[in-house]
Structure formats: C-alpha cells, structure tokens
Amino acid sequence: MNAWWHQSIEQTAETLSTDLEQGLTTAQALEKTQTYGPNQLKQTPPVPAWKLFLEQFKGVMVGILIAAAVVSLVVQEYADAVIILVIVVLNAILGFVQEFRAEKSLAALKKLASPMAKVVRNGAHQVIPSTQLVPGDLIELEAGDNIPADARLVWITANTRVQEASLTGESTAESKDLGVLKGQVPLGDRKNMVYMGTSVTNGRARALVTATGMETELGKIADMMDKVVDDATPLQQKLEVFGKKIVVLCLVLVGLIFVLGWLHGGELKEILLTAISLAVAAIPEGLPAVVTIALALGVQRMVKRNALIRKLPSVETLGCATVICSDKTGTLTKNEMTVQSVYAGGQWFDVSGQGYAPQGQFSVNGQDVAVTDYPELVQLLKIGQLCNGAQLVRQEGAYSVVGDPTEGCLITAGTKGGVLKDELEQAHPEIDEIPFDSDRKMMTILREAEGGVCAFVKGAPDMLLAECSHIQIRGEVVTLTEEHRNAIAVANHQLASQAMRVLAGAYRLFDRVPGDITAETVETNLVFTGLYGMMDPPREEVKAAIAECLTAGIRPVMITGDHKATAVAIATQLGFYDEKSLALSGHEIDDLSDEQLEAKVEHIAVYARVSPEHKIRVVRAWRKRGQVVGMTGDGVNDAPALKEADIGVAMGITGTDVTKEVADMVVTDDNFASIVAAVEEGRGVYDNIRKFIHYLLSCNAGEIMVMLFASLLGWPAPLLAIHILWVNLVTDGLPALALGVEPLDPLAMQRPPRPPAEPVVTRKGSLTMLIQALIMAACTLCAFAVVLHQGDDPAAMTPKARTVAFVVLACSQLFHSFNCRNLKQSLFKIRIWTNPQLVLATGVSFAVQIAVVHFPFLQQAFKTTPLSLNEWGAILFISSLPLWLVEIGKAVAGRRG
C-alpha cells in the first residue's frame, strides 16, 4: 500500500500516471475503471427469508421442545403437544422478525459518499457520478462538499478545513496543508490527505484521487464490519449448555423409572407412559416463551429510559457487561467546543455553561462579575466576535454552529458576556481578511473602527505573541515587557496542561486602510489582549453515571481518536483515570503484540489517537480476558468495534446511520447515563429469568422425586401421566410468566456483575432447588400415604390418594412461586403485593385446579374424586409448608451472612 502522505505532489502524480493541470484523459479513466471497478462499497447479498426462518429452529432447546411435542402426541396428550408447538413457532416468528431487518450497515456507509463529484478530465471541468471516479482523477472541493474518495491534496486555499469526526472522532475540523509527512502518521494527523465520508467546512482545494471503493479508509471499515462474526450472547450460550444437560437428564430418568417400574411388576404400557410423561415434565417447555417475554418487557422499560434495543438477546447481555469501552466525542462529551476559562489583563475569568447555548456567567474566584467592569475582557470578547467567520443559529430551541466549531464557541462566550456579534458587525463593517494558514497560525479581519481601521487578530498564543509589541492592562495600552511575556506564557501553559485548546486575541489600529494588506504589513506591532481556554466538555450527567458504573463493578474505558492529553484530562475529570491508570496512543498500541496488549489491557483506562483497527484489538483483548464488553460510539470509525463487542451501543442524536445499523442498542438521548440505566434493566431481566428457571426446575424436580421415591418404596404411582403433564402445564404457565415481570431489585447496581462464565444454574442454586424440591415431594408423598392407608384396602383408596397428591403437588408449587420472587430476601421484606401479576396468576391457577377436581367432565378426564372442605383445608396447610420452610431458611441464612 502506498503511503501517499509520504510522497510529494509531483511523485504522487507520477505514481498515479496523471497530470496536475489536465487530469486524466477519457481513455485513461476507462482503462482504470476496468482495473479498479466502480467507486462504491460492496454489499453482501442478504440471507434469503426462508433460510432465516428455518435457522430459528436450530438449537438444543428447540430440539427438545419438538421432541416433547412428538412424545405428547404419542401419549395422546394433544393439548400439550399443540401448546408446545405453538411455543416453538411463536419463538421462531419473533426471532425471524428481529433478524429479517437485514444488515443495512454497508448501505448506510454508502450514503456517506457524495453522489456527484467535480473532476478535471482532458483539461476540462466536469461533474460526474462519484461512482465513476478512479485513482488519478483530479477532483475539486469546496466548503460544504462531501469528499467522494480518498485523495492527496495538491492545491488549497489558506483556510481549508475538513470535518473528519466520522473517521477520527475529533470534534474540531482539521486544517489542511500540502507538506510531505514523515514516519508513522495516524489518520487524524495526515494533513495533506482527505478521505471519503468526510466533508469540507472551509476553503477550497484540488486533490488527486488515491483510492476508491473498498480500498478507501471507509471501505476498509466496511470490510472489517463484514468480517466480524456475530457471536451468541452469554444467555444464548448458557441456555444451549443447559438444554444439553436437560437432554441427558431426561434419558437417565426415562431409563431409571422404566427399570424400577418393571422390577416392581407394573404393567409395561403404564410404566412406559409414566416414564415418558416424567421426561416431558422434566423439560422446561415454557422457558423460551418466558425468556422472550422477559426480554420484550425489558425492551419496553428501556424505551422509557431512552434506550432502544434492536436485538432482543442484547437486553440480557447488558446485564452482565463488565467493561464499557466508550468513545469520547459526543458520548462522554457534548461534541460542542466551549470556552471555559479566559485570561485578560493579568486576571483569570471562569466561564460557566456548556455547549453553544449562550447561557452562563463570567466569574472571578467563584463570584459572578460584570463583564463591562473589565475593559480587556470586553476587548478580547470583541475580537472573538469580529475575527470570526461562523454563525450561531437557533432552531427549535437548540443552538448550533454554521462554520468552524472553535469559532462558534467564541461567539457563544461573547454572547454570554453581552458582547453581541450582529451588533458589532453592523458597527464595524468588514474591509478585508487575511485567512488562517498553518504556517502563520493566525487569522485577521480588518474592519472599520472609530477614527480609522482596526485589525482584529486571533491565533496560536506563541505565534501571535511574537508579533505583539504592546498589551492592554486596566484599560490602558502599555509596552509589552519580558515580565508580561513570561506571565502570558505561564497562563498559556496552565490552560494547555488542562488539555484545553488555547487561542490568543490581539488588535492593531490604523488611521486608514493599509495600502498593502498582507500578514507582513498588518500582523505586526499588535496589542495583546488575552487568552481563550476552550474544551469539548464532559456531559454534566456522565460523572454520576461513571461513578454508578464503578459501584456496580463495571470498568469504563475511553477509546478515542482525539489527542492523549485531551483524553486523559476528560477521563480524570470523569473519575476513571488516576495515577495507577495507563494511557496509550495508537503508535504505542502498534508496538504491542496481541498477547502484550491482552496482558496490559486491565490497567489501561484511555486509548487515544486510535484507528478502527486499534478499537477492534482493544475489544478483542478484553474479550479474551473473559470479559463481557460494551462499546459505545457515534462515528463511522466506531462501527467495526461496535459490531465486534458483545453489546454495541450507538448514539441516537449524533450517531451516524452506520453505527445505528450495526449497534445492538441505540441511546436516543445520547446520554451515557441512559446506558447505565439500560445495564440496570438488563440485570433485572436476567434476575427474573433465573428466578423463573429456579422455580420451574425445583417444581419439575419435585414431580420427579414424587414418582421416583414412590417407585423405590413399591407404592402405587401417586400421579398418573395426565396429572404430571397437567401440573407441569399449570406451573409453566401464568405463575412462571408472572415471575418474569418481577420489579427491579433496587440493589441491582450495588453488586458486581455476575462472572461471565457463571452458568444459569450454579452448584449452590442446584442444591437449593433440590432441597426445595425434596420439601414439595415430601409434602405430596406424606399426603398420599396418609389417604392411601386410611382404610383397610389401599387399592380402594388409591384414586382419592392420587387426587390429594395431585392437588397438594400443584398447590405447593403455587405457594413456592412466592419463594422464588427473591432467592435471598424474605418475601415479607419485599412484600407480597409488589408483584400483583403473581398474586393474580396463582389465584387463577388455583381456581383451575379446583375445577379439575370438582367439575364432572374434568373429573372423568383427570380421574379425580371430589374433596370435602375439611380436606381442602388440610391440603392448603400441607401445601403451604414449602413457603414457610423456605422463608425460615432465608432468615437463618441472612443471619449467618
């Protein structure tokens, strides 16, 4: 690859076989089109809809459910089979709808290219579709143009500036020059180059096209995005592992129950039916539905908190995020340059307010002051307004800048002090301008003034100070002494050390318009007025959000294209960079191997001046450490890393179409705090999924224990196959769904993220579930045994005993659902009525259970016998024992903990 920025203009033209005046000939352009192809980004063909739909039926859990439906059909449980198949199809449709929104990222990238381009061919100016550009074309650019291809500048006006934030992340437009660059040069520092997807904000230029289509920097980003493979989310991976374990468990159970029944001389058909029913009971067929509903409800809550989720599983991924890699510009900061400090007449002034809204005050030592009491300050603000080509506009209550953001913030600062640009321009009409250039680093505008002409000058402090002979102090113009120069140098250093951009202001009065208006004749013997210190400030709410992240055990990391000093200053202000932290630049990352970066990554808080490739390397390094990584951003340069991360977060207001299309989540208010709120919701969703799984598996294990222990004791089967399937259906239904809408735990963000490798069901959780299952099984078996042995003929009492066991098992599971609302805190501490959906769900399920026992047509179907009121009272007492015993266990564990 040619490093075009290392070549002179003449070398570039020779390498590209073009002419700097005539451009390419038509024949050359046609020949190069055959070689390089059209200047457009390639798009991967979309996956056919039918294939997307069929892919939804992959996965162990889906396979288990389909097998369960087949088994239900074999045992003639048609209702259960229909319900299971409906669940499978519903989940497939939901997944299909999510994924059918085909990847539009490359199409969005394509929109960034200019549709038409101004080109010189055969020595004539032409306007052609940008897709027809080829390397070697001589293109013309002016303010407002989108740049149609990567190109080496060959001619520019003095004030040519290009907004490259979408590629580099820098908030200010970059000045351009024609000089040859040496050594390793990051994209943001290639002053003699322009790139597709950026735009000209000031000046005019000519450039030789060096790369088109997929060979451009934008094309490389598109290629990286295309190569990034979407991994399964942590929850999807864990449910897959969980499903495989369930398959093994089902096979073992079927075999064990069948063997025990056969050894006790049971009827072969009945044994087989019972074993298969238990296997079906062990399968949590409600799991996919409840997971989907829990995720969907989480999405609805997140929308209310300004977070739009594009992919359902991303809700849960947010909840286990351990690292959030954030872009700086527009994400942690406002992407609005703001004057924060002013030095004039030897006095420091702080300026309040953020962004371009002219709302704020000037203060000295914390006390608000009247700007008019300080003539030097008024003069400096006046220079900032009159040596300025930008405009501050207000639309729909919001302020924005037309022109250079740095000049825009000077207008805002002057307006805050009551020094208004429009009034000043009317009073001081413009005469002429000496534009900014990168050699002088100054800009001058001459205007009419009282008694003559005034040159208003702004520029880099060191360059401007060298041209000053006087200084304005306490309303008087005095000779600039060495002592004054030293004081100004100290003030400049103080501002620069805070990572502020510093501009100086000066002026010179003339009796009349100079005969020769040049930098050499005008920008000398200037009167120094003061310094502006400006910065793209952190968002006010971000510091609190960062603190909440740290409390929640989430590591914030800044990855930006901006300069290291600026990035470190912002990170320090926000509270996640200290003396133990490291900051690396893109050059320093290049010097590290992937293994070295992985070893250091946990200590690095700031990455500055980085490319899209660097961002991907950082994300991958964290993921190799076993961390769940979120990546936020708004520019095109962020898109590949957003796609690589476990959870990609785009900004809704300042974000490009590209980042929004590849992201898993879009923050609609560009507020970092909204990301933290989304993490909280994600934790809540996962908590609810675990509660549901805990409830479901403990209930299913209780059913299995009832049948297993009865077989070991040689008793008649306490439950028929239809009883097992019914109880499973009732407990997998409304109560389980109600647990999926459990309110958020207020302490969710005061605990560290769960370990990424932690399974859905831990060893401790498994032991707890087995104990709770044993309690429910013991209650059911005791009730069955008592009724079975009430008379002399156990065979005659078996139907009633089975009815009692059937009801006790179902009701104990309904009571147990309240235990599962919080696996640590007491139900009475979180209060029963805080989840009214669960109260209603258990009430409806209980009413249905009564109907199964007392409605004649249901009695026949379920082989139940009616129960007396006293028997119901005894059943409810026995069934409630799991609730009380588990709550006592929580209290004992809480005291020990």
Q: Measured between alpha carbons, how far is 601 from 557 in angstroms, rounded to an integer?
A: 10
* Residue 222, both tokens: 């598109």
> Is the predicted pLDDT of residue 437 greater than 70, yes or no?
yes
Average pLDDT, the chain: 84
In the block, which residue shows the tokens 């669940």?
87
Q: Is 358 helix (H, G, I), strand (E, B) or coil?
A: coil
422 is a catalytic site residue? no
Residue 551: the pLDDT is 92
pTM of the model: 0.67
> Is the predicted pLDDT of residue 271 greater than 50, yes or no?
yes
Residue 811: the pLDDT is 95
- Range with the poorest average pLDDT among 100-104, 297-301, 326-330, 509-513: 100-104
Confidence of residue 632 (pLDDT cuts 50, 70, 90): confident
Residue 165: the pLDDT is 72
Confidence of residue 113 (pLDDT cuts 50, 70, 90): very low
How far is the CA of 422 from the CAs of 374, 417, 419, in angstroms? 21, 14, 9
**Model pLDDT for residues 536-586, shown as the tens digit of each residue:** 888 878 888 899 999 999 999 998 877 788 889 889 989 999 889 999 998
Mean pLDDT of 388-400: 85
Q: Which residue has the higher pLDDT, 233 or 376?
A: 376
> Is the predicted pLDDT of residue 498 greater than 60, yes or no?
yes
**Model pLDDT for residues 843-853, shown as the tens digit of each residue:** 999 999 999 99
Helix 794-819, helix 869-896: angle, nearest 10? 40
Residue 235: the pLDDT is 63
**Model pLDDT for residues 819-831, shown as the tens digit of each residue:** 999 888 888 888 8
Contact 135, 209 (CB under 8 A): yes
**Model pLDDT for residues 330-341, shown as the tens digit of each residue:** 778 877 889 999
Would strands 582-585 and 604-608 be described as parallel, antiparallel, or unpaired?
parallel
**Model pLDDT for residues 29-77, shown as the tens digit of each residue:** 999 999 999 988 776 566 677 776 777 676 655 666 677 677 667 766 6
User: Which residues are CB-contacts of 441 (< 8 A; sequence separation ≥ 6)?
Assistant: 459, 460, 463, 464
Residue 270: the pLDDT is 65
Most confident of 265-269, 363-367, 694-698: 363-367
Mean pLDDT of 353-364: 92
Catalytic residue (one of 80, 145, 327, 646): 327
**Model pLDDT for residues 712-749, shown as the tens digit of each residue:** 787 888 988 678 778 877 776 788 888 878 888 888 88
Q: What are phi and psi of 447, to 5 degrees?
A: -140, 155
Mean pLDDT of 770-786: 95
Residue 756: the pLDDT is 67
Residue 287: the pLDDT is 67
Identify the H or E element spanning 129: strand 124-129
Q: Measured between alpha carbons, how far is 779 from 799 in angstroms, rounded to an integer?
A: 18
